[in-house]
A = this chain, B = another copy of it.
């Protein structure tokens, strides 16, 4: 593989005057009256294509003038400084070899014109060839790499918590069943129920909705762990924020309290946003021009500002006293709605806000009870322009308190025996949070719908490819 990535040429990593070989796909072709063709060639390595200037003296110049968007080519030529505007370097082509044609350009689904984002979604196998989805793909990769790097540099251990789970710890209502039973001839028990003892795992099994509980087991040995893997919800939510299959980042930290993980969330978000601003400036400029004009400035703001911190109880007072009319009225004890969160972040604090210490009755059993007996050490990170982006808590590490809470909520202690073991044997204070990765990518890019920031989105009624 002796060819060079286009990003290396455009970034000036190759000396002017060198003979270079590039391989990629035609974005556009333009022919001058003087008998020169200009090919814009992209290879996915950066936002911009490189221009290849092709003189009509080439043997196959006739062929070159037939190139259309999507054709694949190998261009060999001399790297020169560009005379035109916009780009610093271009290639004076010496040979152009066509690897693959687009046989009928009129029917090429990605022909060089504006396509609606919905149209692109229906052609998910070809849409990475477009400017917009190419840019999303690079930014998504940049965020993912930055997340791994952030945790690795700080001594966190990546744990792959299980995808398939037969644990009874999760509410099965919104879970996908995983089975190898013959659906035409389901085995039955004497009572006529489906006999899951005959299924692959010997009992009912589902796709995980979170790696947290499993993550806590490793946190109780390795101290600092994180998961980064797919999670699933069988929700019939046809919104721009929901996917049936999405990736979650879930750090879990021993010896950390609520304030520690609020600080971790702030550090992490700032770290990954800085990485995008530094490494993917080209793609972010495109998003700022075409998708969301504050795409860059809001990340810069985010990185510079300290997060605000507010107790849920105080937040409720602020919302009640602000004079703004909300669709959902606010009272102590109700969960905050998106309109409330956005008011706090966008109008009151004008900064990302960590809302802390929620009423225990609206939160999960594993969150640590505060001294007041009414609240738990839970937090949400809410950001201007997106709303909730992270949810987390300190975990209940006291066995007696956990057991009382399980009982209060009508949950069976037996189902949580391994989770309770962590509290029986050398329990430690610990905390963690969850970040929906697609929501993060949607926020950074300004893309309005999470379906456009994952390669092949899975939603109700749709799992093609």
Interface residues of A in 225-250 (CB under 8 A from B): 229-230, 232, 234, 244-245, 247
B254 x A125 contact (CB < 8 A): no
Q: Which residues of B contact A343 (CB under 8 A)?
A: none
Residue interface mask A390-415, B partner, CB < 8 A = 1:
00000001000000000000000000
Residue interface mask A206-227, B partner, CB < 8 A = 1:
0100000010011011111000
Among B145, B202, B245, B426, contact of A71 (Cβ-Cβ < 8 Å): B426
Instruction: Say how many copies of this protein the assembly contains.
Output: 2
Q: Which interface residue of A148, A193, A205 has the most chain B CB atoms within 10 A?
A: A148
* A70 in contact (CB, < 8 A): yes
A110 x B425 contact (CB < 8 A): yes
Bound-complex Cα distance A460 to B26 (A): 49
Q: Which residues of B contact A421 (CB under 8 A)?
A: 109, 125-126
Interface-side segment among A94-102, A293-301, A333-341, A372-380: A94-102
Residue interface mask A106-118, B partner, CB < 8 A = 1:
0011100000000
Bound-complex Cα distance A425 to B74 (A): 15
A7 x B164 contact (CB < 8 A): no
Interface residues of A in 1-57 (CB under 8 A from B): 1, 3, 5, 7, 23-26, 43-45
B44 x A157 contact (CB < 8 A): yes
Q: Which residues of B contact A165 (CB under 8 A)?
A: 463, 465
A160 x B230 contact (CB < 8 A): yes
A384 nearest CB across to chain B (Å) = 27
Bound-complex Cα distance A183 to B194 (A): 7
Among B23, B72, B229, B455, contact of A218 (Cβ-Cβ < 8 Å): B455
Given contacts A102-B426, A157-B138, A426-B100, contact A163 B245 (CB under 8 A): yes
* A88 in contact (CB, < 8 A): no
Closest Cβ neighbor of A154 among chain B residues: B5
A58 nearest CB across to chain B (Å) = 20
B178 x A159 contact (CB < 8 A): no
A425 x B458 contact (CB < 8 A): no
Among B71, B145, B222, B229, contact of A128 (Cβ-Cβ < 8 Å): B222
Bound-complex Cα distance A375 to B25 (A): 30
A118 nearest CB across to chain B (Å) = 17
Q: Which residues of B contact A328 (CB under 8 A)?
A: none
B180 x A461 contact (CB < 8 A): no
B44 x A221 contact (CB < 8 A): yes
Interface residues of A in 152-204 (CB under 8 A from B): 152, 155, 157-167, 176-181, 183-184, 186, 193-194, 200-203
* A292 in contact (CB, < 8 A): no
Q: Which residues of B contact A389 (CB under 8 A)?
A: none
* A144 in contact (CB, < 8 A): yes
* A448 in contact (CB, < 8 A): no
B230 x A163 contact (CB < 8 A): yes
Bound-complex Cα distance A7 to B222 (A): 12
Interface residues of A in 72-104 (CB under 8 A from B): 72, 74, 99-103
Given contacts A134-B222, A222-B44, A230-B163, contact A193 B184 (CB under 8 A): yes
A292 nearest CB across to chain B (Å) = 22
* A141 in contact (CB, < 8 A): yes
List 17 A–B pairs whose Cβ atoms lie within 8 Å, in order of A's numbering.
A5-B155, A26-B426, A44-B157, A44-B221, A72-B428, A100-B426, A108-B425, A128-B221, A145-B158, A162-B245, A164-B176, A164-B244, A177-B181, A177-B183, A184-B193, A201-B462, A214-B465
Give 9 nearest A-B pairs by CB, closest first: A44-B222, A100-B427, A128-B221, A166-B463, A201-B463, A72-B426, A125-B217, A125-B418, A129-B221
